[in-house]
Amino acid sequence: DGGITQSPKYLFRKEGQNVTLSCEQNLNHDAMYWYRQDPGQGLRLIYYSQIVNDFQKGDIAEGYSVSREKKESFPLTVTSAQKNPTAFYLCASSVRHGGFYEQYFGPGTRLTVT
């Protein structure tokens, strides 16, 4: 089955600790994205990567870091510098369909930092 996997579904951390969220896709998509969702809010873009070994900041990159060493994987690290890390994190990947890159989303990881 092709798709995007994010693990774990729920993640708990103590304040001051870095935590890495996993995102893997076996769809052979070139581009991958990380979004953050807060209650009652829309999704906001954290980072995106168009190809391996390249990534760009989104609208709210402060306190986050990413890597893209493999096409299939785009892990997100939430650092201790992120002031409000508790949120729902969604990963997406995209492929070109008739001139347009459609984004497909994973199931998300709910991070709680106390």
* 101 binds other proteins, rule: CB under 8 A: yes
Site residue total, other proteins (CB under 8 A): 29
Convert 52-86 to b/e letters by CB count within 10 Å (16 or more is b).
Answer: eeebeebeebeebbbebeebbebbbebeeebeebb
Name which of 14 and 84 has its Cβ closer to other proteins. Answer: 84
Return phi, psi of residue 2, to 5°: -85, 145
**Among the residue ranges 11-19, 61-69, 73-81, 96-104, the one whose residues contact other proteins (CB under 8 A):** 96-104
What residues contact residue 18 under an 8 Å CB cut-off, 6+ apart?
77, 78, 79, 80
Residue 55 C-beta: closest distance to other proteins, Å: 11
* Cis, bond preceding 39 (omega within 30 deg of 0): no
Name which of 13 and 60 has its Cβ closer to other proteins. Answer: 60
Residue 62 C-beta: closest distance to other proteins, Å: 17
* 86 binds other proteins, rule: CB under 8 A: no
Name which of 6 and 82 has its Cβ closer to other proteins. Answer: 6
User: Residues 19 to 78: which contact other proteins by CB under 8 A?
Assistant: 30-31, 40-45, 48, 50, 56, 58-59
Taking alpha carbons only, the member of 8, 14, 81, 76 closest to residue 46 is: 76
